Amino acid sequence: MLNKELEVTLNKVENSRRKEKPDQNNLGFGTHFTDHMFSMRWNREKGWHNAEICPYGDFTIDPAAMVFHYGQEIFEGLKAYRGAGNQPLLFRPEDNLKRLNDSALRLCMPRIPTGEILKVLKALVYLERDWIPEAEGATLYIRPTMIATEPALGLRPSEEYLFFIIMSPVGAYYAEGFNPVRIHVENTYVRAVRGGVGEAKTGGNYAASVRALVEAQEKGYTQVLWLDAIERKYIEEVGTSNIFFVIGDEIITPPLGGTILPGITRDSVLTLARDLGHKTTERPVSIDEVIEAADNGELKEIFSTGTAAVISPIGELCYNDKAIVINNGKSGELATLFFNELQDLQWGRKEDKYNWLVRVG
Ligand SMILES: *Cc1c(COP(=O)(O)O)cnc(C)c1O
């Protein structure tokens, strides 16, 4: 089924029905969508079929579709960048498609043919290239998603799926400057436990995390820092981003042990850090170690990594009502360095020595 060539139909929107482009200075995140999307269906008999690039629009889905009841859903997030000469660029898209298949395996969903979907993605981005914003730091955010569509209420893997890709022009994350955020260390709720679905990009993880986010925001914090679910001691992630610590001359990030998302930005930062000659370690970091390092002046920086913000410096942690201020609440040297390096790579302003860029058109 994965070997059969995917036939993709192109059904372009009529010119008169093209949407007006949103105000480039007021894009927000994920609120405007382009003229076209991609979708395809899966069932056991036909495998992937009805693949089409078509006008962006509603789906008709049976209310009994399994996704609505048991949450069998997975997604990805990546971006298209406007490179030199207006050439669209994608950053490590194969890694996103591969990770989608890892999530699919965990959720008992069918795998996508990554080579063919990368071709589809390039065609879709090329078709919508005018939607890639021009402003510095602005991008076209891409959201591949798969849902279980079989109408049935018994709990088992669905026999029918819908995969789609939608795209949204988004503004620069740091429209007001690369400023550190204040983070609440969560000690009531947990995000994931070993053996669960923490390493899959599946909607349920996010639904389960919103309560903690809301409570942290009510207390004036931007995000939640998750501790491990067993001992409530080891640091896992920040919201929907991976986390890095600079303690002494060591750059440390928690290991991929099944409970955290294997971030592509995390991997890119690890690669860059090693290449730049920094001592880089993947190991468990306890909140006590962070507090101690802060107390004795060894804690230099904390920052988080993810596709949306690239790098987000952390200026303050609140743990058990005690504030830990990092680097005097200012953006750290390494956070700034990785932010600039990654952006230069993503926009093709720097030699692509890791072969991370996919050029479109
Ligand atoms: C998507 C995501 C990340 C970051 O992954 P990137 O590939 O760097 O965007 C980190 N943690 C969680 C929970 C995520 O969903």
| Predicted pLDDT at 104 | 98
| Predicted pLDDT at 182 | 95
Handedness of CA 140, 348, 304, 75 (dihedral sign): positive
Cα 237 to Cα 216: distance, rounded to the nearest angstrom: 15
The ligand 1 atom at the shortest distance from the C-alpha of residue 239 is: 13
**The two three-digit tokens of residue 361, written as one number:** 């058109």
Matching residue, tokens 């990554």: 114
Using a 6 Å CB cutoff, which residues line ligand 1?
Answer: 77, 201, 237, 240-242, 261, 263-266, 305-307
**What's the 263 CA to ligand 1 centre distance in angstroms?**
5
SS (H, E, C) 186-251: CCCCCCCCCCCCCCCCCHHHHHHHHHHHHHHHHCCCCEEEEECCCCCCEEEEECCEEEEEEECCEE
**What's the 261 CA to ligand 1 centre distance in angstroms?**
6
The ligand 1 atom at the shortest distance from the C-alpha of residue 95 is: 7
Q: Could you tell me the residue ranges of all domains in the chain? A: 8-170, 181-346
**What's the 311 CA to ligand 1 centre distance in angstroms?**
12
Give the residue among 307, 293, 181 at the shortest CA–CA distance from 246.
Answer: 293
| Predicted pLDDT at 173 | 82
β-bridge mates for residue 247, sequence order: 250, 299
**What's the 5 CA to ligand 1 centre distance in angstroms?**
31
The ligand 1 atom at the shortest distance from the C-alpha of residue 78 is: 9
Please tell me the residue having the least CA distance from ligand 1 atom 13: 240
The number of C-alpha atoms within 13 Å of 359 and in the hemisphere containing its C-beta is 10
The four Cα atoms 285, 257, 346, 274 give a dihedral, to 10 degrees, of 60
**What's the 325 CA to ligand 1 centre distance in angstroms?**
25
3-class SS shares of the chain: helix, strand, coil, % to 5: 25, 30, 45
**What's the 240 CA to ligand 1 centre distance in angstroms?**
5
Residue 171 near residue 86, CB atoms below 8 Å: no
Matching residue, tokens 């947990």: 190
| Predicted pLDDT at 1 | 46
**What's the 142 CA to ligand 1 centre distance in angstroms?**
14
| Predicted pLDDT at 3 | 52
Secondary-structure class of domain 8-170 per CATH: alpha beta
pLDDT in tens, the chain (361 residues): 445 689 999 999 999 999 999 998 889 899 999 999 999 999 999 999 999 999 999 999 999 999 999 999 999 999 999 999 999 999 999 999 999 999 999 999 999 999 999 999 999 999 999 999 999 899 999 999 999 999 999 999 999 999 999 999 999 887 767 899 999 999 999 999 999 999 999 999 999 999 999 999 999 999 999 999 999 999 999 999 999 999 999 999 999 999 999 999 999 999 999 999 999 999 999 999 999 999 999 999 999 999 999 999 999 999 999 999 999 999 999 999 999 999 999 999 999 999 999 999 9
How many whole angstroms from its chain centre is CA 182?
A: 21
The ligand 1 atom at the shortest distance from the C-alpha of residue 99 is: 7
First CA to last CA across the chain, in angstroms?
29
The ligand 1 atom at the shortest distance from the C-alpha of residue 305 is: 8
In 10 A of CB 97, how many CB atoms? 21
Candidate of 223, 240, 259, 311 to mutate for ligand 1, largest count of ligand atoms within 8 Å of Cβ: 240
**The two three-digit tokens of residue 77, written as one number:** 């997030």
Quote the Cα angle for 77-79-85, to 5°. Answer: 170
Please tell me the residue having the least CA distance from ligand 1 atom 14: 240
**What's the 82 CA to ligand 1 centre distance in angstroms?**
22
| Predicted pLDDT at 178 | 87
**The two three-digit tokens of residue 57, written as one number:** 């629009």
Q: Which CATH number does 181-346 carry?
A: 3.20.10.10
Q: Output the CA–CA distances (angstroms, integers) from residue 250 to 217, 234, 255, 256, 264, in the order listed.
A: 31, 18, 15, 18, 21
Which pTM was predicted?
Answer: 0.96
Candidate of 99, 242, 310 to mutate for ligand 1, largest count of ligand atoms within 8 Å of Cβ: 242
The number of C-alpha atoms within 13 Å of 203 and in the hemisphere containing its C-beta is 14
